[in-house]
Amino acid sequence: MDRQILLTPGPTPIPPETLKMESLPIIHHRTKEFMDLFNELHENLQYLFQTKNKVYSLASSGTGAMECAVANLVSPGDKVIAVACGVFGERWIKILTAFSANVIPLRSEWGAQVKPEELEKVLKENPDVKTVFSTHTDTSTAVLCDIKKYAEITAKTKAIIVVDSISGLGGQELYMDDWHLDAVVSASQKGLMSAPGLGFISVSPKAWGLVQESKSPRFYWDLRAFEKVFATGQTPFTPPVSLLRATNESLKMIRKKTLKNVWQETKELAQFTREVGSSLGLKMFPKDPCEILTSFKVPEGLDGQKIVKQIVEKYNISLAGGQDKLKGKVVRIAHMGYIQKADIQKGMKALAETLSSGVF
């Protein structure tokens, strides 16, 4: 089968060196060989998160890491704020509601970020808030949330801040320690240039107090169990060895290139995509755009879902349509991870031809 060009915001393409690692013979996880891999991967994850805190690897997609954060940091009835500017902010609200938290949703109009002043106001009105949840880059609306400012504001209160950087990590600036982020969750299949199936969570010493106190039910996600065996280079349950080994390979590549260079390249690809879009008369959907993907408004009278379907069938290029209330209204093109400029060029050409053909 021909390689499909993936321009979706996760999963993203995987470098050949990483693919090779996925196919190596399996090793047992209670061995020195695994311990060495665990320790090397951990150091690379700390670099990605820009933290001295531990980063725990979970056998799950990103949503599993989000649920792990809630189960470990929130007790039933806790008052929390969930900043939401798209589908993934709404996901925090859904998980928090499932865990019986007392959620104050702080929503923006889709396309815009929640202004830091609004968070400041709600925190002032609710001094008993224990935790603020936010997304870093909401992949559904392509909005960048100002987590640095949210964290500055939150740090002045007793609350902690938890960030979903599932699509942001690796492509968008993030400094867990310097920005005082108390917990960050991510996943393998986007900026980390790896296959889907790994979630990650890092928790600051301040937030660790809540992990000890949480009264939410947890077993598989109990971070105390991960912590207990951490020093031995182990995980409490059978780890996805092949995925960990492959992800480590991609992280080594990012580290060699440096995060600063990756962020810069992502910015340049975003600029390129937007310039081509603008030359086609396409308008950006978000007012507060992130760099890891571009969301274009679909011209009036056209159906974005049909455009995406036509492009994959005719060109074998996978773009993303809209989610939830944006279904049919936007077309999204990612420029994170291992996505190459030449592939974006092909994707934009296919989009231009499809729009001008009008036969969909």
Contact between 161 and ligand PMP by CB under 6 A: the answer reads: no
Compute the least distance from the CB of residue 138 to ligand PMP, in Å. Answer: 6
For the CA atoms of 222, 226, 227, 229, the dihedral, rounded to the nearest 10 degrees, stands at 140
In the bound state with ligand PMP, the residue whose beta carbon lies nearer, of 112 and 280, is 112
In the bound state with ligand PMP, the residue whose beta carbon lies nearer, of 74 and 166, is 166
User: How would you label 8-40 residue by residue, b for 16+ Cβ within 10 Å and e otherwise?
Assistant: bbbbbbbbeebeebeeeeeeebeeeebeebbeb
Compute the least distance from the CB of residue 23 to ligand PMP, in Å. Answer: 23
Query: Which amino acid belongs to residue 70?
Result: V
User: How would you label 75-110 residue by residue, b for 16+ Cβ within 10 Å and e otherwise?
Assistant: eeebbbbbbbbbbbbbbbbebbeebebbbbbbebeb
Contact between 63 and ligand PMP by CB under 6 A: the answer reads: yes
Contact 82, 95 (CB under 8 A): no
Measured in whole angstroms, the distance separating CA 18 from the mean position of its chain's CA atoms is 20
Of the candidate residues 34, 56, 88, 208, the single one contacting ligand PMP (CB under 6 A): 88
**What crossing angle do the helices spanning 205-213 and 62-73 adopt, rounded to 10°?**
70
Both structure tokens of 17:
């060196």
Of the candidate residues 61, 97, 242, 305, the single one contacting ligand PMP (CB under 6 A): 61
Contact between 167 and ligand PMP by CB under 6 A: the answer reads: yes
Of the candidate residues 5, 6, 8, 10, the single one contacting ligand PMP (CB under 6 A): 10
Contact between 321 and ligand PMP by CB under 6 A: the answer reads: no
Of the candidate residues 139, 202, 250, 294, the single one contacting ligand PMP (CB under 6 A): 139
Contact between 164 and ligand PMP by CB under 6 A: the answer reads: yes
Contact between 337 and ligand PMP by CB under 6 A: the answer reads: no
Compute the least distance from the CB of residue 82 to ligand PMP, in Å. Answer: 13
Report how far residue 205's alpha carbon sits from residue 208's, in angstroms, rounded to the nearest whole number.
5
Residues contributing to the site for ligand PMP (CB under 6 A): 10, 61-63, 88, 91, 135, 138-139, 164, 166-167, 187
